[in-house]
């Protein structure tokens, strides 16, 4: 084990390999408040990458309803229970990561789902506690709420899958930080399936190898956002490059949201992987639950987000989500317009801070017909 | 009380005499090495009666607990080994006890397996028994029960694993594609990534064994031109597997080497480094050159 600095938990931690950050890190921000769980992202990924034999059960992208939804079953609860109660001391995590809590003979604390755990991708969908008065029997010790959590591989800075592979078949690309399983080298031991806390590595029983989200790297290499991003009809996602906090730039949209405004937070940062998909937490769910999922930054993130309507920079940047199929490395606001920019400052797309509203009269007096909105 | 004691005193010598008279022939002393018996033709099937005449070595299995991930829960205690050679090839028949037949792959299903390991170079000192070491490779022949089932006729589809699985559509089985045609096959391969990049783990499988080499833990690599063969059979007690490989030329000239074995019990989720293994065991040709 080596010592590696993990800024998400505010301290150094034990990891199987020394710290070795890529030249730049693929990262994403998902605005949970805008997700409607239409699963278009899930299908976009499924039809692009996992239509083969042995991949039938795989969802490299899935959307689950929290608090009860989970794919595979109890992916989060099982590990949190295994890890036991841990504490944050302010912004520093005082508990043990899954690398530090590894049992004897293991590299990582983990568990492996049973085959049937993958059989219920819609479990808990749209379940909340709000219909008790209408006959729902479900009772839970919290308020009536739910939200949708879209999940892909987090392309972690300290991937547990990579640390656990005894063959070195998993690698993190130095050029973009995307984590891949080398399909020519994998022998299907499934240590990675056991180790990944997000359960985003899947075993293909018909090829005998494990497979995972590849962040659509053939698109990334062309400067394009992945399939699950560009097909998102809720426009909740933005892909880009995230700097380490000490090199954060205000004109980098990912840096701005994650490091400067701190409105987007990592998923289960206490596990120690430094995941690179960041979530703007839902404004309507209890802090206690959200803090377990996204760490101690939740209350401040929600507070900042709620002030969005009076915050033209934040609101403007959020307006860039879903406005282009290109990866957005830079951005700039000019009065009531926000521009997505390329590395060299050239404009990719420009959107208004507020979409103009046009109202047509229901009756077209010129043609003497009633207008309809049917296509 | 006294009468009972007297009877006991008399009974003891009688019992001794009876036992001596009925005593079976003493079992042969345990072999100190795996002896490779000479044969005219390699008995390729595990149940071939020719194996009955071959001396058996019983190898104690120990847990692989030196490198992570380690096996900390003991399973298969021993493996029974017989070996023969026809002068150009050599065969091992490995038999072990296993209560469960684990030959069905699945995301959380592991399959029974075994392997034979020999140093590539025969010299006075052997490489590390754990997969060799840098610059001192070992050759391994690996068998597993899922590959055996495929070779024995089990199909290569999700319904062969889960008979009631429902699949809407595979793009490479679209009506517009002629089944078995080159474009259809090319497209099907593209949807099996490991197969598309030539990973021999991924099939299509024609043999239940794979030739491998290693120079230390984590370095296992397929041997591209490997041509070992094998056959496994489920027995009442467990598995019986024959592995046939080339007879190393150096062994022909020197007459002895070392060999090691490993067994994976799928029911215990043993896979990769999580295995029961032997140390190096002396290997001797029955007829020395």
Q: Which of residues 217-276 of A touch B (CB under 8 A)?
A: none
| Mean of pLDDT values over B122-138 | 93
Distance CA B289, CA B285 (A): 8
Contact criterion met (CB < 8 Å) for A105 and B196? no
Q: Give B48's contacts (C-beta < 8 A, 6+ positions apart).
A: none
Give the nearest partner residue to B107 out of A51, A106, A205, using CB atoms. A205
Strands B229-234 and A369-370: unpaired
Share of chain B above pLDDT 90, in %: 75
Q: How far is CA B31 from the centre of its chain?
A: 20
Q: Is-contact A36 A95, C-beta < 8 A?
A: no
pLDDT in tens, B133-184: 999 999 999 999 999 999 999 988 889 988 998 888 899 999 999 999 999 9
Q: Show me where the domains of chain B are located.
A: 28-156+209-285, 157-204
Measured between CB atoms, which of B192, B193, B272 is closest to A187? Answer: B272
Cis peptide upstream of residue B69 (ω within 30 degrees of 0): yes
Mean residue pLDDT of chain B comes to 90
Cβ–Cβ gap B196/A211 under 8 Å: no
CA distance A140 to A128: 9
Encoded tokens for A13: 């931690």
A365 near A261, Cβ under 8 Å? no
Q: Is A205 on the interface with B (CB under 8 A)?
A: yes
For residue B191, which residues of chain A lie inside 8 Å, CB to CB? 51-53, 55
User: In the prediction, which pLDDT does A166 show?
Assistant: 97
Determine which of A14, A48, A187, A193 to mutate to test the interface with B (most B C-beta atoms within 10 Å): A187
CATH class of the A21-226 domain in this structure: alpha beta
Residue B5: band (very low, low, confident or very high) from pLDDT cuts 50, 70, 90: very low
> What's the CA gap between A182 and A177, in Å, rounded?
15
Please state, in angstroms and rounded to a whole number, the distance separating the CA atoms of residues B60 and A51. Answer: 45
- Optimal mutation site among A184, A186, A200, A217, interface B, most CBs of chain B within 10 A: A184
3-state SS class at B222: strand
Residue B19 predicted with pLDDT over 60: no
Radius of gyration of chain B (CA): 24
| Start-end of H helices in A38-102 | 40-49, 75-83
**pLDDT for residue B4:** 44
State the Cα angle at A67 between A64 and A73, rounded to 5°: 60
**Given pLDDT bands bounded at 50, 70 and 90, which one contains residue B18?**
very low
Position B8 scores a pLDDT of 42
Interface check for A52 against chain B (CB to CB < 8 A): the answer is yes
User: Which has the closest alpha carbon to A212: B193, B190, B162?
Assistant: B193
Is any Cβ of chain B less than 8 angstroms from the Cβ of A106?
yes
Measuring CA to CA, which residue among A9, A5, A7 is closest to residue A92?
A9
pLDDT band at B253 (very low <50, low <70, confident <90, very high): confident
DSSP, collapsed to helix, strand or coil, labels residue A147 as: strand
pLDDT given at position B2: 41
Examine the pLDDT at B283 and tell me if it is beyond 70.
Answer: yes
Q: Per-residue pLDDT for B60 more than 80?
A: yes
pLDDT at residue number A138: 58
Which residues are CB-contacts of B11 (< 8 A; sequence separation ≥ 6)? none
Q: Give the burial class of A84: count Cβ atoms within 10 A of its Cβ; 0-12 exposed, 13-18 middle, 19 or more buried.
A: exposed
How many angstroms separate the Cα of B243 from the Cα of each of A5, B54, B247? 49, 15, 12
- Domain boundaries, given as residue ranges, for chain A: 21-226
* CATH, domain B28-156+209-285, list 3.40.1160.10, 3.30.465.10, 2.60.40.1190, 1.20.1050.140: 2.60.40.1190
Residue B96 · residue B79 · CB < 8 Å? yes
Structure token pair of residue A47: 């039809």
CA-atom Rg of chain A in angstroms:
21
pLDDT tens, position by position, A326-357: 999 999 999 999 999 999 999 999 999 988 89
Residue A346 DSSP class: -
Q: Which pLDDT value is given to residue B268?
A: 97
Nearest C-alpha neighbor of A159 from the set A121, A188, A200: A200
- From first CA to last CA, the distance across chain B in angstroms is 69
The pLDDT of residue A375: 58
d(CA A18, CA A365): 73
Task: Find the CB nearest A106 among B68, B108, B201.
Answer: B68
Q: 3-class SS at A132?
A: helix
CA of A270: how far to CAs of A89, A99, A164, A203, in Å? 12, 11, 18, 26
Q: How many CA atoms lie within 13 A of A267 on its CB side?
A: 25
- Residues of chain A falling short of pLDDT 50: none
* B69 contacts on A by Cβ (under 8 Å): 105-107, 164, 166, 191
**Torsion sign over Cα B174, B175, B180, B184:** negative
pLDDT-based confidence at residue B287 (cuts at 50, 70, 90): confident
- For the ranges A31-40, A342-351, B45-54, B245-254, the lowest mean pLDDT is seen at B245-254
Cβ atoms of residues B251 and B268 within 8 Å:
no
The region of weakest confidence among A175-184, B84-93, B122-131 is B122-131
Per-residue pLDDT, A86: 96
- This model of the complex carries an ipTM of 0.89
Residue whose entry in the numeric block shows the structure tokens 């010790």: A141
Q: What is the structure's pLDDT at A129? A: 58
The values of phi and psi at residue B268, to 5°, are -100, 15
Q: What angle do CA A6, A9, A12 make, to 5 degrees?
A: 45
Residue A357: CA count within 13 A, CB half-sphere: 2
Provide the token pair at B95.
Answer: 């038999």
Between the CA atoms of A249, A252, A258 and A261, what dihedral angle is there, to the nearest 10 degrees? Answer: 70
Residue A254 is inside which H or E element, if any?
Answer: helix A253-255
């Amino acid at each position: 084990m080596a010592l590696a600095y993990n800024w998400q938990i505010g301290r150094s931690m034990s990891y199987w390999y020394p710290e070795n950050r890529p030249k730049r890190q693929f990262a994403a921000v998902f605005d949970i408040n805008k997700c409607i769980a239409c699963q278009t992202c899930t299908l976009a990924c499924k039809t692009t990458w996992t239509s083969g034999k042995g991949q039938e059960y795989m969802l490299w992208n899935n959307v689950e309803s929290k608090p009860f939804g989970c794919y595979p079953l109890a992916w989060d609860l099982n590990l949190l229970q295994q890890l036991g109660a841990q504490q944050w001391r302010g912004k520093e995590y005082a508990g043990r990561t899954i690398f530090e809590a590894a049992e004897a003979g293991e590299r990582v604390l983990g568990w492996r789902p049973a085959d049937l755990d993958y059989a219920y991708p819609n479990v808990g969908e749209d379940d909340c506690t709000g219909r008790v008065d209408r006959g729902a029997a479900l009772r839970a010790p919290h308020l009536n709420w739910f939200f949708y959590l879209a999940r892909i591989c987090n392309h972690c800075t300290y991937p547990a899958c990579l640390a656990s592979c005894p063959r070195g078949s998993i690698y993190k690309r130095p050029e973009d930080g995307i984590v891949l399983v080398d399909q020519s080298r994998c022998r299907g031991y499934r240590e990675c399936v056991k180790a990944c806390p997000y359960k985003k590595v899947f075993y293909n029983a018909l090829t005998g190898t494990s497979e995972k989200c590849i962040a659509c790297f053939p698109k990334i290499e062309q400067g394009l956002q992945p399939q699950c991003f560009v097909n998102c009809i809720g426009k909740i996602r933005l892909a880009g490059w995230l700097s380490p906090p000490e090199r954060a730039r205000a004109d980098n949209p990912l840096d701005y949201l994650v490091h400067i405004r701190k409105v987007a937070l990592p998923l289960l940062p206490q596990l120690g992987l430094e995941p690179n998909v960041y979530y703007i937490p839902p404004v309507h769910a209890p802090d206690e639950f959200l803090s377990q999922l996204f760490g101690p930054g939740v209350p401040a993130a929600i507070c900042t987000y709620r002030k969005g309507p009076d915050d033209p920079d934040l609101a403007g940047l959020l307006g860039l989500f879903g406005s282009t199929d290109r990866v957005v490395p830079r951005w700039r606001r000019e009065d009531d317009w926000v521009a997505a920019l390329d590395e060299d400052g050239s404009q990719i797309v420009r959107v208004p801070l507020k979409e103009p509203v046009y109202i047509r009269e229901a009756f077209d007096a010129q043609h003497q017909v009633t207008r309809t909105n049917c296509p | 009380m006294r009468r009972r004691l007297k009877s006991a005193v008399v009974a003891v010598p009688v019992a001794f005499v009876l036992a001596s008279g009925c005593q079976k022939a003493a079992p042969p002393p345990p072999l100190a090495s795996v002896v490779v018996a000479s044969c005219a033709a390699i008995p390729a099937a595990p149940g071939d009666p020719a194996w009955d005449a071959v001396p058996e070595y019983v190898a104690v299995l120990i847990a692989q607990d030196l490198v992570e991930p380690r096996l900390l829960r003991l399973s298969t205690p021993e493996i029974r080994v017989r070996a023969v050679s026809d002068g150009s090839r050599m065969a091992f028949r490995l038999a072990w006890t296993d209560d469960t037949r684990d030959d069905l792959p699945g995301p959380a299903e592991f399959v029974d397996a075994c392997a034979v390991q020999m140093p590539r170079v025969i010299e006075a000192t052997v490489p590390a028994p754990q997969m060799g070491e840098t610059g001192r490779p070992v050759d391994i022949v690996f068998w597993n029960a899922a590959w055996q089932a495929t070779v024995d006729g089990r199909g290569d589809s999700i319904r062969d694993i889960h008979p009631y699985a429902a699949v809407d559509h595979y793009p490479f089985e679209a009506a517009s594609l002629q089944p078995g045609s080159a474009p259809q096959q090319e497209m099907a391969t593209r949807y099996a990534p490991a197969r598309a990049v030539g990973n021999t783990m991924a099939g299509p499988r024609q043999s239940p064994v794979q030739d491998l080499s290693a120079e230390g833990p984590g370095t296992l690599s397929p041997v591209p031109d490997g041509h070992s063969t094998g056959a496994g059979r489920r027995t009442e007690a467990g598995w019986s597997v024959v592995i046939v490989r080339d007879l190393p030329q150096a062994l022909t000239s020197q007459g002895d080497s070392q060999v090691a074995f490993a067994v994976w019990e799928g029911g215990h989720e043993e896979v990769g480094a999580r295995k029961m293994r032997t140390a190096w065991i002396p290997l001797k040709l029955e007829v020395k050159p």
